[in-house]
Amino acid sequence: AQTVTQSQPEMSVQEAETVTLSCTYDTSENNYYLFWYKQPPSRQMILVIRQEAYKQQNATENRFSVNFQKAAKSFSLKISDSQLGDTAMYFCAFMSGAGSYQLTFGKGTKLSVIP
């Protein structure tokens, strides 16, 4: 079974600064997907970014980027130019193979952006 570990229960960052959230995972598979989801106080689960394991290039979505280290089984999320609206819980998640659609989540990191 896969496991996902987020070692930072809480973090804070000044508005406009950069912050990195950590995630490690354990799997014996070679083909998989990794995700970061954002959960604001509204409770909605919002997909932030996705990384395919077979792609060496790190995924980027506007101010959000990842550092995917396959050999180290590490998948960190970098948020640049932090905004107040980035305040939320962030969950790292693992999906094995194509078509499985079963996500394994980490316990989350609570991020607070300070004005």
Partner 1 sequence: NAGVTQTPKFQVLKTGQSMTLQCAQDMNHEYMSWYRQDPGMGLRLIHYSVGAGITDQGEVPNGYNVSRSTTEDFPLRLLSAAPSQTSVYFCATGRNEKLFFGSGTQLSVL
Which residues contact partner 1 (rule: CB under 8 A)? 4, 33, 35, 42-45, 47, 50, 52, 91, 93, 95, 98-99, 101-108
Please identify, using beta-carbon distances, which residue of 82 and 109 lies nearer to partner 1: 109
Least separation in angstroms between CB 16 and partner 1: 29
Q: Measure the CA–CA gap between 37 and 82, rounded to whole angstroms.
A: 16
Return the SS3 of 76.
Answer: strand
Q: Measure the CA–CA gap between 23 and 81, rounded to whole angstroms.
A: 21
Least separation in angstroms between CB 1 and partner 1: 9
Least separation in angstroms between CB 72 and partner 1: 21
Q: Measure the CA–CA gap between 39 and 17, rounded to whole angstroms.
A: 20
